Amino acid sequence: MNLIHLIRNRDWRWAVLPLTLLTVWYVVTTLGWVNTKLIVPPEKVYQAAVKAISRDGFMEGVEASLMRDMSGFVIGSFAGIVFGVLLGLSRWTERIVGPTFNTLKHISLFAWLPLISTWLGTGDSAKIVFISLTTFYPVAINTFDGVRSVPRTQLEVARVYAFTRWQSITRLIVPAASPQILTGLHLGLIYAWMATIGAEFLLVTADTGLGDAVIKGRAAFNVELIVFGMLIIGLVGALLNFIATRIESHLLAWRGDRT
Amino acid sequence: MAHAATLEIKNLNKQYKVRGESLPVLENISLSIKPGEFVSIVGSSGCGKSTLLKLIIGLEDDYQGELLLDGSRIVGTSLERGIVFQEHRLFPWLTVEQNISIGLLNNTKFSEEEKRKSVQEHIELVGLKDFAGAYPYQLSGGMSQRVAIARALVNRPEVLLLDEPFGALDAFTRAFLQQELQRIWEKEGITMIQVTHDVEEAVYLGDRVVVMQPRPGRIKRIIDVPLPRERNRSSAEFIAIKEEVLREFSHTADASAGLIEKAASNEEYSHSNELSYQA
Protein backbone atom coordinates (compact mmCIF):
# COMPACT_ATOMS: atom_id res chain seq x y z
CA MET A 1 0.00 0.00 0.00
CA ASN A 2 2.66 2.41 1.09
CA LEU A 3 4.98 1.27 -1.66
CA ILE A 4 2.34 1.78 -4.34
CA HIS A 5 1.73 5.22 -2.92
CA LEU A 6 5.44 5.98 -3.06
CA ILE A 7 5.79 4.80 -6.65
CA ARG A 8 2.72 6.73 -7.76
CA ASN A 9 3.82 9.95 -6.16
CA ARG A 10 7.28 10.03 -7.69
CA ASP A 11 7.95 11.53 -11.07
CA TRP A 12 9.24 8.66 -13.18
CA ARG A 13 9.42 10.50 -16.51
CA TRP A 14 13.22 10.61 -16.34
CA ALA A 15 13.20 6.83 -16.88
CA VAL A 16 11.54 7.03 -20.30
CA LEU A 17 14.63 7.91 -22.29
CA PRO A 18 17.08 5.40 -20.72
CA LEU A 19 14.54 2.59 -21.01
CA THR A 20 13.87 3.44 -24.65
CA LEU A 21 17.58 3.48 -25.43
CA LEU A 22 18.08 0.19 -23.62
CA THR A 23 15.21 -1.36 -25.59
CA VAL A 24 16.53 -0.09 -28.93
CA TRP A 25 20.01 -1.32 -28.00
CA TYR A 26 18.62 -4.74 -27.11
CA VAL A 27 16.45 -5.03 -30.23
CA VAL A 28 19.08 -3.97 -32.79
CA THR A 29 21.73 -6.27 -31.32
CA THR A 30 19.40 -9.26 -30.91
CA LEU A 31 18.04 -8.95 -34.46
CA GLY A 32 21.59 -8.60 -35.75
CA TRP A 33 21.01 -5.23 -37.49
CA VAL A 34 24.44 -4.01 -36.38
CA ASN A 35 27.94 -5.42 -36.14
CA THR A 36 27.81 -6.96 -32.68
CA LYS A 37 31.59 -6.86 -32.44
CA LEU A 38 31.45 -3.04 -32.33
CA ILE A 39 28.05 -2.64 -30.72
CA VAL A 40 27.92 -5.41 -28.17
CA PRO A 41 24.59 -6.64 -26.83
CA PRO A 42 23.53 -5.56 -23.33
CA GLU A 43 23.74 -9.04 -21.88
CA LYS A 44 27.41 -9.22 -22.86
CA VAL A 45 28.05 -5.99 -21.00
CA TYR A 46 26.22 -7.47 -18.04
CA GLN A 47 28.40 -10.60 -18.19
CA ALA A 48 31.55 -8.48 -18.47
CA ALA A 49 30.32 -6.48 -15.48
CA VAL A 50 29.82 -9.58 -13.35
CA LYS A 51 33.21 -10.89 -14.38
CA ALA A 52 34.96 -7.57 -13.77
CA ILE A 53 33.40 -7.00 -10.38
CA SER A 54 34.16 -10.52 -9.15
CA ARG A 55 37.72 -10.26 -10.44
CA ASP A 56 40.37 -9.14 -7.96
CA GLY A 57 41.42 -5.56 -8.32
CA PHE A 58 38.36 -3.98 -9.91
CA MET A 59 36.93 -2.45 -6.78
CA GLU A 60 40.44 -1.40 -5.82
CA GLY A 61 40.58 0.39 -9.15
CA VAL A 62 37.38 2.30 -8.39
CA GLU A 63 38.73 3.11 -4.97
CA ALA A 64 42.07 4.30 -6.35
CA SER A 65 40.29 6.59 -8.82
CA LEU A 66 38.05 8.02 -6.11
CA MET A 67 41.03 8.62 -3.84
CA ARG A 68 42.83 10.57 -6.56
CA ASP A 69 39.64 12.46 -7.33
CA MET A 70 39.08 13.43 -3.70
CA SER A 71 42.71 14.34 -2.97
CA GLY A 72 42.85 16.58 -6.03
CA PHE A 73 39.44 18.07 -5.27
CA VAL A 74 40.30 18.89 -1.64
CA ILE A 75 43.66 20.48 -2.52
CA GLY A 76 42.27 22.37 -5.51
CA SER A 77 39.19 23.69 -3.75
CA PHE A 78 41.11 24.78 -0.66
CA ALA A 79 43.59 26.65 -2.84
CA GLY A 80 40.73 28.04 -4.94
CA ILE A 81 38.81 29.42 -1.98
CA VAL A 82 41.88 31.01 -0.39
CA PHE A 83 42.96 32.50 -3.71
CA GLY A 84 39.44 33.71 -4.57
CA VAL A 85 38.96 35.36 -1.18
CA LEU A 86 42.35 37.09 -1.26
CA LEU A 87 41.81 38.31 -4.81
CA GLY A 88 38.29 39.51 -4.01
CA LEU A 89 39.28 41.29 -0.81
CA SER A 90 41.94 43.58 -2.05
CA ARG A 91 42.02 45.78 -5.10
CA TRP A 92 45.77 45.66 -4.85
CA THR A 93 46.14 41.89 -5.25
CA GLU A 94 43.51 41.97 -7.94
CA ARG A 95 45.55 44.45 -9.95
CA ILE A 96 48.76 42.50 -9.46
CA VAL A 97 47.47 38.96 -9.89
CA GLY A 98 44.19 39.35 -11.78
CA PRO A 99 45.48 39.87 -15.34
CA THR A 100 47.94 36.96 -15.13
CA PHE A 101 45.28 34.72 -13.69
CA ASN A 102 42.82 35.68 -16.41
CA THR A 103 45.38 34.91 -19.09
CA LEU A 104 46.46 31.59 -17.62
CA LYS A 105 42.91 30.33 -17.30
CA HIS A 106 42.60 30.38 -21.09
CA ILE A 107 45.22 27.66 -21.42
CA SER A 108 43.28 24.44 -21.95
CA LEU A 109 43.70 22.34 -18.85
CA PHE A 110 44.85 19.37 -20.90
CA ALA A 111 47.67 21.50 -22.28
CA TRP A 112 49.18 21.40 -18.79
CA LEU A 113 49.57 17.63 -18.95
CA PRO A 114 52.86 17.43 -20.92
CA LEU A 115 54.45 19.90 -18.52
CA ILE A 116 53.10 18.13 -15.45
CA SER A 117 54.29 14.73 -16.67
CA THR A 118 57.70 16.14 -17.54
CA TRP A 119 58.09 17.41 -13.99
CA LEU A 120 56.31 14.75 -12.01
CA GLY A 121 56.15 11.70 -14.26
CA THR A 122 52.92 9.81 -14.68
CA GLY A 123 52.35 8.61 -11.12
CA ASP A 124 49.74 9.59 -8.58
CA SER A 125 51.29 12.95 -7.74
CA ALA A 126 51.11 14.09 -11.37
CA LYS A 127 47.49 13.00 -11.60
CA ILE A 128 46.56 14.69 -8.35
CA VAL A 129 48.26 17.93 -9.40
CA PHE A 130 46.27 17.87 -12.63
CA ILE A 131 42.99 17.20 -10.81
CA SER A 132 43.75 20.00 -8.29
CA LEU A 133 44.42 22.42 -11.10
CA THR A 134 41.13 21.49 -12.77
CA THR A 135 39.23 22.05 -9.52
CA PHE A 136 41.08 25.24 -8.70
CA TYR A 137 39.77 27.38 -11.57
CA PRO A 138 35.99 27.14 -11.11
CA VAL A 139 36.33 27.39 -7.34
CA ALA A 140 38.64 30.42 -7.50
CA ILE A 141 36.55 32.26 -10.10
CA ASN A 142 33.24 31.71 -8.31
CA THR A 143 34.69 32.54 -4.90
CA PHE A 144 36.12 35.77 -6.30
CA ASP A 145 32.73 36.72 -7.79
CA GLY A 146 31.00 35.93 -4.51
CA VAL A 147 33.41 37.96 -2.41
CA ARG A 148 33.15 40.87 -4.84
CA SER A 149 29.39 40.96 -4.67
CA VAL A 150 29.09 41.25 -0.88
CA PRO A 151 26.86 44.34 -0.52
CA ARG A 152 28.48 47.55 0.72
CA THR A 153 25.55 47.99 3.11
CA GLN A 154 26.48 44.79 4.95
CA LEU A 155 30.13 45.79 5.11
CA GLU A 156 28.89 48.92 6.88
CA VAL A 157 27.13 46.71 9.42
CA ALA A 158 30.46 44.97 10.06
CA ARG A 159 32.06 48.36 10.69
CA VAL A 160 29.26 49.48 13.02
CA TYR A 161 29.83 46.40 15.18
CA ALA A 162 33.59 46.92 15.08
CA PHE A 163 34.40 43.62 13.33
CA THR A 164 38.09 42.89 12.98
CA ARG A 165 39.29 42.05 9.49
CA TRP A 166 39.30 38.35 10.33
CA GLN A 167 35.75 38.60 11.72
CA SER A 168 34.62 40.40 8.57
CA ILE A 169 35.99 37.55 6.48
CA THR A 170 34.67 34.67 8.56
CA ARG A 171 31.40 36.18 9.80
CA LEU A 172 30.35 38.18 6.78
CA ILE A 173 32.28 37.79 3.54
CA VAL A 174 32.60 34.00 3.37
CA PRO A 175 29.00 33.28 4.44
CA ALA A 176 27.67 35.99 2.11
CA ALA A 177 29.72 34.52 -0.73
CA SER A 178 28.84 30.93 0.19
CA PRO A 179 26.20 30.44 -2.53
CA GLN A 180 28.79 31.26 -5.19
CA ILE A 181 31.55 29.35 -3.40
CA LEU A 182 29.31 26.28 -3.30
CA THR A 183 28.52 26.70 -6.99
CA GLY A 184 32.27 26.73 -7.63
CA LEU A 185 32.80 23.66 -5.47
CA HIS A 186 30.00 21.84 -7.24
CA LEU A 187 31.51 22.60 -10.63
CA GLY A 188 34.93 21.70 -9.27
CA LEU A 189 33.64 18.32 -8.12
CA ILE A 190 32.26 17.51 -11.57
CA TYR A 191 35.42 18.72 -13.32
CA ALA A 192 37.63 16.84 -10.88
CA TRP A 193 35.98 13.55 -11.76
CA MET A 194 36.38 14.21 -15.48
CA ALA A 195 40.00 15.16 -14.85
CA THR A 196 40.55 11.95 -12.89
CA ILE A 197 39.46 9.79 -15.81
CA GLY A 198 41.28 12.05 -18.27
CA ALA A 199 44.49 11.81 -16.27
CA GLU A 200 44.20 8.04 -16.11
CA PHE A 201 43.74 7.88 -19.87
CA LEU A 202 46.56 10.20 -20.71
CA LEU A 203 49.07 9.50 -17.96
CA VAL A 204 49.07 5.74 -18.37
CA THR A 205 50.90 3.76 -15.74
CA ALA A 206 50.69 0.29 -14.35
CA ASP A 207 48.53 1.71 -11.56
CA THR A 208 45.01 0.62 -11.00
CA GLY A 209 42.08 2.91 -11.70
CA LEU A 210 38.84 3.09 -13.62
CA GLY A 211 40.47 4.82 -16.56
CA ASP A 212 43.13 2.13 -16.74
CA ALA A 213 40.46 -0.57 -16.77
CA VAL A 214 38.85 1.05 -19.80
CA ILE A 215 42.24 1.41 -21.51
CA LYS A 216 42.93 -2.28 -20.93
CA GLY A 217 39.57 -3.06 -22.46
CA ARG A 218 40.47 -1.13 -25.56
CA ALA A 219 43.86 -2.81 -25.81
CA ALA A 220 42.14 -6.18 -25.70
CA PHE A 221 39.39 -5.01 -28.08
CA ASN A 222 36.99 -5.84 -25.28
CA VAL A 223 34.11 -3.50 -26.14
CA GLU A 224 31.84 -4.80 -23.38
CA LEU A 225 34.49 -3.91 -20.81
CA ILE A 226 34.83 -0.42 -22.31
CA VAL A 227 31.06 0.12 -22.15
CA PHE A 228 30.92 -1.18 -18.60
CA GLY A 229 33.76 1.16 -17.61
CA MET A 230 31.88 4.08 -19.13
CA LEU A 231 28.74 3.19 -17.23
CA ILE A 232 30.63 3.06 -13.94
CA ILE A 233 32.35 6.38 -14.66
CA GLY A 234 28.97 7.94 -15.43
CA LEU A 235 27.36 6.45 -12.36
CA VAL A 236 30.11 7.66 -10.04
CA GLY A 237 29.85 11.14 -11.59
CA ALA A 238 26.07 11.18 -11.12
CA LEU A 239 26.45 10.01 -7.53
CA LEU A 240 28.99 12.75 -6.74
CA ASN A 241 26.68 15.29 -8.32
CA PHE A 242 23.73 14.03 -6.28
CA ILE A 243 25.69 14.24 -3.02
CA ALA A 244 26.90 17.75 -3.88
CA THR A 245 23.36 18.91 -4.65
CA ARG A 246 22.08 17.58 -1.34
CA ILE A 247 24.88 19.19 0.68
CA GLU A 248 24.41 22.46 -1.19
CA SER A 249 20.69 22.71 -0.55
CA HIS A 250 21.23 21.77 3.08
CA LEU A 251 23.89 24.45 3.60
CA LEU A 252 21.84 27.08 1.78
CA ALA A 253 18.58 26.33 3.57
CA TRP A 254 18.70 29.90 4.96
CA ARG A 255 17.81 31.21 1.51
CA GLY A 256 14.34 29.68 1.74
CA ASP A 257 12.70 27.71 -1.01
CA ARG A 258 14.60 29.15 -3.90
CA THR A 259 15.41 26.66 -6.61
CA MET B 1 19.11 51.18 32.40
CA ALA B 2 21.85 52.37 30.08
CA HIS B 3 23.52 55.71 30.39
CA ALA B 4 22.08 58.18 27.91
CA ALA B 5 24.44 60.34 25.94
CA THR B 6 24.70 64.06 25.41
CA LEU B 7 25.47 64.87 21.80
CA GLU B 8 27.01 68.19 20.96
CA ILE B 9 27.30 69.28 17.33
CA LYS B 10 29.14 72.56 16.82
CA ASN B 11 29.70 74.30 13.48
CA LEU B 12 29.81 71.01 11.63
CA ASN B 13 30.81 71.20 7.97
CA LYS B 14 31.24 68.39 5.50
CA GLN B 15 32.21 68.32 1.83
CA TYR B 16 32.36 65.58 -0.75
CA LYS B 17 34.89 65.56 -3.51
CA VAL B 18 33.15 65.12 -6.82
CA ARG B 19 35.50 65.02 -9.80
CA GLY B 20 38.08 67.11 -8.03
CA GLU B 21 35.56 69.73 -6.99
CA SER B 22 34.48 70.13 -3.43
CA LEU B 23 30.73 69.95 -2.93
CA PRO B 24 29.40 71.18 0.40
CA VAL B 25 26.95 68.69 1.92
CA LEU B 26 26.55 70.04 5.42
CA GLU B 27 27.11 73.65 6.36
CA ASN B 28 27.42 75.03 9.81
CA ILE B 29 25.27 72.54 11.68
CA SER B 30 24.96 73.24 15.39
CA LEU B 31 22.70 71.17 17.57
CA SER B 32 22.78 70.17 21.19
CA ILE B 33 20.96 67.01 22.19
CA LYS B 34 20.17 66.28 25.82
CA PRO B 35 20.51 62.82 27.40
CA GLY B 36 17.40 60.76 26.78
CA GLU B 37 15.99 63.19 24.25
CA PHE B 38 14.24 62.05 21.07
CA VAL B 39 15.16 64.29 18.14
CA SER B 40 13.54 63.97 14.72
CA ILE B 41 15.32 65.33 11.68
CA VAL B 42 13.25 66.00 8.57
CA GLY B 43 14.20 67.37 5.21
CA SER B 44 13.86 66.62 1.55
CA SER B 45 16.27 64.35 -0.31
CA GLY B 46 19.76 65.74 -0.54
CA CYS B 47 19.61 67.90 2.57
CA GLY B 48 22.42 65.83 4.06
CA LYS B 49 20.39 64.31 6.90
CA SER B 50 21.66 60.81 6.19
CA THR B 51 25.21 62.12 5.93
CA LEU B 52 24.76 63.70 9.34
CA LEU B 53 23.84 60.32 10.81
CA LYS B 54 26.78 58.68 9.03
CA LEU B 55 29.10 61.17 10.68
CA ILE B 56 27.58 60.59 14.12
CA ILE B 57 27.76 56.79 13.79
CA GLY B 58 31.34 57.11 12.49
CA LEU B 59 30.97 55.48 9.08
CA GLU B 60 32.25 58.73 7.63
CA ASP B 61 35.09 60.81 8.93
CA ASP B 62 36.72 63.87 7.54
CA TYR B 63 34.56 66.72 8.77
CA GLN B 64 35.21 70.20 10.09
CA GLY B 65 33.81 71.46 13.34
CA GLU B 66 33.00 69.52 16.45
CA LEU B 67 31.07 66.33 16.99
CA LEU B 68 31.12 65.46 20.67
CA LEU B 69 29.56 62.53 22.49
CA ASP B 70 29.60 63.16 26.24
CA GLY B 71 32.31 65.72 25.61
CA SER B 72 34.72 63.57 23.58
CA ARG B 73 35.24 63.80 19.86
CA ILE B 74 33.65 61.07 17.74
CA VAL B 75 36.20 59.01 15.83
CA GLY B 76 35.10 55.90 13.92
CA THR B 77 32.37 53.52 14.95
CA SER B 78 31.74 52.46 18.52
CA LEU B 79 29.42 50.07 20.31
CA GLU B 80 28.21 53.07 22.35
CA ARG B 81 26.40 54.29 19.26
CA GLY B 82 23.81 52.06 17.60
CA ILE B 83 22.11 52.52 14.24
CA VAL B 84 19.07 51.19 12.43
CA PHE B 85 19.16 51.64 8.66
CA GLN B 86 16.24 51.95 6.27
CA GLU B 87 16.86 48.40 5.07
CA HIS B 88 17.10 45.92 7.90
CA ARG B 89 20.56 44.72 6.78
CA LEU B 90 20.25 41.45 8.67
CA PHE B 91 22.57 38.60 7.74
CA PRO B 92 20.30 36.18 5.89
CA TRP B 93 22.33 33.11 6.92
CA LEU B 94 21.78 33.79 10.63
CA THR B 95 18.63 33.25 12.69
CA VAL B 96 16.91 36.10 14.52
CA GLU B 97 18.75 35.22 17.72
CA GLN B 98 22.13 34.92 15.96
CA ASN B 99 21.58 38.20 14.14
CA ILE B 100 20.97 39.98 17.43
CA SER B 101 23.97 38.24 19.04
CA ILE B 102 26.29 39.38 16.26
CA GLY B 103 25.94 42.88 17.71
CA LEU B 104 27.72 41.63 20.83
CA LEU B 105 30.62 40.00 18.99
CA ASN B 106 33.12 42.59 20.15
CA ASN B 107 31.46 43.63 23.36
CA THR B 108 34.06 43.31 26.12
CA LYS B 109 31.98 44.95 28.84
CA PHE B 110 29.45 42.13 29.23
CA SER B 111 30.15 38.70 30.66
CA GLU B 112 28.92 35.69 28.68
CA GLU B 113 25.98 35.48 31.04
CA GLU B 114 25.11 39.15 30.56
CA LYS B 115 25.35 38.73 26.80
CA ARG B 116 22.91 35.83 26.82
CA LYS B 117 20.58 37.82 29.03
CA SER B 118 20.78 40.92 26.86
CA VAL B 119 19.96 38.93 23.71
CA GLN B 120 16.93 37.32 25.35
CA GLU B 121 15.72 40.61 26.79
CA HIS B 122 15.95 42.35 23.45
CA ILE B 123 14.20 39.55 21.59
CA GLU B 124 11.38 40.00 24.06
CA LEU B 125 11.58 43.79 23.88
CA VAL B 126 10.73 43.70 20.17
CA GLY B 127 8.16 40.94 20.68
CA LEU B 128 9.83 38.20 18.63
CA LYS B 129 10.23 35.49 21.24
CA ASP B 130 8.46 32.95 19.06
CA PHE B 131 10.68 33.76 16.11
CA ALA B 132 14.11 33.48 17.75
CA GLY B 133 15.05 30.56 15.53
CA ALA B 134 13.60 31.95 12.30
CA TYR B 135 15.68 33.06 9.32
CA PRO B 136 15.18 36.53 7.79
CA TYR B 137 13.48 35.11 4.69
CA GLN B 138 10.72 33.86 6.98
CA LEU B 139 10.04 37.33 8.43
CA SER B 140 7.90 40.20 7.19
CA GLY B 141 9.49 43.60 6.56
CA GLY B 142 8.20 44.95 9.88
CA MET B 143 9.52 41.97 11.82
CA SER B 144 12.93 42.23 10.14
CA GLN B 145 13.12 45.88 11.12
CA ARG B 146 12.29 44.96 14.71
CA VAL B 147 15.17 42.48 14.68
CA ALA B 148 17.40 45.27 13.38
CA ILE B 149 16.28 47.48 16.28
CA ALA B 150 17.06 44.70 18.77
CA ARG B 151 20.49 44.18 17.19
CA ALA B 152 21.20 47.90 17.49
CA LEU B 153 20.14 47.99 21.15
CA VAL B 154 21.71 44.75 22.37
CA ASN B 155 24.96 46.51 23.36
CA ARG B 156 22.91 48.97 25.42
CA PRO B 157 24.28 51.95 23.49
CA GLU B 158 24.00 55.49 24.80
CA VAL B 159 22.50 56.78 21.63
CA LEU B 160 20.44 55.12 18.91
CA LEU B 161 20.39 56.56 15.41
CA LEU B 162 17.56 55.72 13.06
CA ASP B 163 17.95 56.39 9.35
CA GLU B 164 14.40 56.37 7.92
CA PRO B 165 13.82 53.07 9.72
CA PHE B 166 10.21 52.62 8.67
CA GLY B 167 10.44 54.23 5.25
CA ALA B 168 10.09 50.96 3.36
CA LEU B 169 7.12 49.65 5.33
CA ASP B 170 3.39 49.89 4.67
CA ALA B 171 1.33 52.50 6.55
CA PHE B 172 -0.20 50.13 9.12
CA THR B 173 3.08 48.47 10.02
CA ARG B 174 4.72 51.87 10.17
CA ALA B 175 2.17 53.31 12.62
CA PHE B 176 2.48 50.20 14.79
CA LEU B 177 6.28 50.31 14.83
CA GLN B 178 6.27 54.02 15.67
CA GLN B 179 4.27 53.14 18.77
CA GLU B 180 6.67 50.29 19.50
CA LEU B 181 9.68 52.55 19.11
CA GLN B 182 8.16 55.07 21.50
CA ARG B 183 7.64 52.31 24.06
CA ILE B 184 11.23 51.07 23.61
CA TRP B 185 12.61 54.60 23.92
CA GLU B 186 10.72 55.13 27.18
CA LYS B 187 11.84 51.77 28.53
CA GLU B 188 15.52 52.08 27.57
CA GLY B 189 15.75 55.75 28.43
CA ILE B 190 18.46 56.43 25.85
CA THR B 191 19.00 59.26 23.42
CA MET B 192 17.48 58.70 19.99
CA ILE B 193 17.97 60.62 16.76
CA GLN B 194 15.72 59.74 13.89
CA VAL B 195 15.96 60.89 10.31
CA THR B 196 12.73 60.67 8.37
CA HIS B 197 10.81 62.33 5.59
CA ASP B 198 7.50 61.46 7.19
CA VAL B 199 6.48 64.65 9.00
CA GLU B 200 3.79 62.94 11.05
CA GLU B 201 6.31 60.37 12.25
CA ALA B 202 8.75 63.15 13.16
CA VAL B 203 6.14 64.97 15.25
CA TYR B 204 4.73 61.80 16.78
CA LEU B 205 8.08 60.64 18.12
CA GLY B 206 10.22 63.75 18.53
CA ASP B 207 10.72 66.01 21.53
CA ARG B 208 12.02 68.37 18.88
CA VAL B 209 11.77 68.37 15.10
CA VAL B 210 14.81 69.68 13.23
CA VAL B 211 13.90 70.89 9.75
CA MET B 212 16.80 70.82 7.30
CA GLN B 213 17.09 72.40 3.88
CA PRO B 214 19.28 71.23 1.03
CA ARG B 215 22.23 72.51 -0.97
CA PRO B 216 24.15 72.77 1.16
CA GLY B 217 22.47 70.94 4.04
CA ARG B 218 21.60 73.39 6.81
CA ILE B 219 19.26 73.56 9.75
CA LYS B 220 16.35 75.74 8.82
CA ARG B 221 14.38 75.63 12.02
CA ILE B 222 13.94 73.63 15.17
CA ILE B 223 10.36 73.12 16.37
CA ASP B 224 9.53 71.95 19.87
CA VAL B 225 6.82 69.36 20.37
CA PRO B 226 5.62 70.01 23.93
CA LEU B 227 2.84 67.40 23.81
CA PRO B 228 2.42 64.67 26.42
CA ARG B 229 2.92 61.07 25.34
CA GLU B 230 1.39 58.92 24.06
CA ARG B 231 0.38 61.46 21.44
CA ASN B 232 -2.93 61.59 19.71
CA ARG B 233 -2.34 62.03 16.00
CA SER B 234 -5.75 63.59 15.44
CA SER B 235 -5.68 66.12 18.27
CA ALA B 236 -5.78 69.79 17.30
CA GLU B 237 -2.40 70.52 18.90
CA PHE B 238 -0.73 67.64 17.09
CA ILE B 239 -2.13 68.71 13.75
CA ALA B 240 -1.12 72.33 14.38
CA ILE B 241 2.51 71.33 14.97
CA LYS B 242 2.46 69.05 11.95
CA GLU B 243 1.18 71.94 9.84
CA GLU B 244 3.89 74.18 11.18
CA VAL B 245 6.60 71.69 10.18
CA LEU B 246 5.01 71.16 6.79
CA ARG B 247 5.03 74.90 6.15
CA GLU B 248 8.79 75.01 6.68
CA PHE B 249 9.11 72.04 4.42
CA SER B 250 7.22 73.56 1.51
CA HIS B 251 9.23 76.82 1.68
CA THR B 252 12.38 74.81 1.40
CA ALA B 253 11.09 72.83 -1.51
CA ASP B 254 10.01 75.98 -3.37
CA ALA B 255 13.31 77.69 -2.90
CA SER B 256 15.48 75.01 -4.44
CA ALA B 257 13.25 72.51 -6.15
CA GLY B 258 15.52 72.09 -9.10
CA LEU B 259 18.65 71.63 -7.07
CA ILE B 260 17.43 68.97 -4.71
CA GLU B 261 17.73 66.11 -7.09
CA LYS B 262 21.17 67.09 -8.21
CA ALA B 263 22.48 67.28 -4.69
CA ALA B 264 20.87 63.95 -3.91
CA SER B 265 22.50 62.24 -6.84
CA ASN B 266 25.85 63.72 -5.91
CA GLU B 267 25.49 62.33 -2.47
CA GLU B 268 24.73 58.90 -3.88
CA TYR B 269 27.74 59.19 -6.13
CA SER B 270 30.21 59.76 -3.37
CA HIS B 271 28.72 56.98 -1.24
CA SER B 272 29.14 54.44 -3.95
CA ASN B 273 32.71 55.57 -4.37
CA GLU B 274 33.89 54.61 -0.97
CA LEU B 275 33.68 50.89 -1.22
CA SER B 276 36.02 49.64 1.37
CA TYR B 277 36.52 46.33 3.06
CA GLN B 278 38.22 47.56 6.16
CA ALA B 279 36.85 46.22 9.37
Same domain, A130 and A2: no
CB contact under 8 A, B105 and A175: no
pLDDT band at B262 (very low <50, low <70, confident <90, very high): very low
Same domain, B118 and B100: yes
- Residues in chain B with CB shorter than 8 Å from the CB of A164 are 106, 279
Residue B1 lies in a domain: no
- Residues in chain A with CB shorter than 8 Å from the CB of B279 are 158-159, 162-165, 167-168
As a whole number of angstroms, the distance between CA B217 and CA B239 comes to 27
Same domain, A78 and A201: yes
Same domain, B19 and B101: no
- What is the predicted pLDDT for the residue at A150? 93
- Residues in chain A with CB shorter than 8 Å from the CB of B102 are 161, 171
Degrees, nearest 5: CA angle B237-B243-B245: 105
CB A127 within 8 A of CB A72: yes
Q: Write the CA distances from A35 to A28, A29, A38, A48, integer angstroms.
A: 10, 8, 6, 18
- Residue B83 above 90 pLDDT? yes
- What is the predicted pLDDT for the residue at A207? 67
Residue B217 lies in a domain: yes
- Residue B279 above 60 pLDDT? no
Q: Which residues contact B107 (CB under 8 A, 6 or more apart)?
A: B79, B115, B155
- What is the predicted pLDDT for the residue at B104? 93
Residues B25-46 have a mean pLDDT of: 89
- Residue A1 above 70 pLDDT? no
Degrees, nearest 5: CA angle B160-B163-B169: 115
Q: Write the CA distances from A203 to A129, A135, A207, integer angstroms.
A: 12, 18, 10
Same domain, B206 and B248: yes
The pLDDT tens digits of the residues spanning A59-98 come to: 888 888 999 999 999 999 999 999 999 999 888 888 888 8
Same domain, A73 and A98: yes
Same domain, B165 and B53: yes
Q: How many domains does chain B have?
A: 2
| CATH number for position A197 | 1.10.3720.10
Same domain, A133 and A199: yes
Same domain, A51 and A178: yes
Same domain, B261 and B182: yes
Q: Which of B57, B91, B92 sits opposite A160 (nearest CB)?
A: B57
Same domain, B125 and B218: no
Same domain, B98 and B221: no
Same domain, A52 and A30: no
- What is the predicted pLDDT for the residue at A206? 66
As a whole number of angstroms, the distance between CA A84 and CA B169 comes to 37
- What is the predicted pLDDT for the residue at B267? 43
CB contact under 8 A, B83 and A164: no
Same domain, B196 and B116: no
Same domain, B23 and B75: yes
The pLDDT tens digits of the residues spanning B218-252 come to: 888 899 999 998 888 899 999 999 999 988 877 65
- Residue B253 above 60 pLDDT? no
Same domain, A84 and A148: yes
Residues A180-204 have a mean pLDDT of: 91
Neighbours of B190 (CB within 10 A): 23
Per the structure, the complete domain to which residue A212 belongs is given by: 42-255
Is residue A110 within 8 angstroms of chain B, CB to CB? no
Is residue A163 within 8 angstroms of chain B, CB to CB? yes
Residue-averaged pLDDT of chain B? 84
> Sheet of B7-18: strands edge to edge?
B21-33, B7-18, B64-69, B72-73
Q: How many residues does chain A have?
A: 259
Q: How many domains does chain A have?
A: 2
- Residue B173 above 70 pLDDT? yes
Q: Chain A interface, mutation test: which of B93, B102, B161, B162, most A Cβ atoms within 10 Å? A: B93
pLDDT over 90, % of chain B: 41
The pLDDT tens digits of the residues spanning B112-149 come to: 999 999 999 999 988 899 999 999 999 998 899 999 99
The residue from B156, B176, B200 where one domain ends is B156
Residue-averaged pLDDT of chain A? 87
Per the structure, the complete domain to which residue B127 belongs is given by: 90-156
Q: Which has more pLDDT, B140 or B2?
A: B140
Same domain, B105 and B15: no
Q: Chain A interface, mutation test: which of B56, B81, B277, most A Cβ atoms within 10 Å? A: B277
- What is the predicted pLDDT for the residue at B277? 36
Residue B2 lies in a domain: no
- What is the predicted pLDDT for the residue at B263? 43
**To the nearest whole angstrom, how far is the Cα of A32 from the nearest Cα of chain B?**
60
| CATH number for position B43 | 3.40.50.300
Same domain, B143 and B171: no
- Residue B265 above 70 pLDDT? no
Residues A208-221 have a mean pLDDT of: 75
Helices B171-188/B141-153 angle, 10° precision = 20
Same domain, A13 and A132: no
CB A155 within 8 A of CB A129: no
Same domain, B57 and B173: yes
- Residues in chain B with CB shorter than 8 Å from the CB of A253 are 135
Same domain, A159 and A78: yes
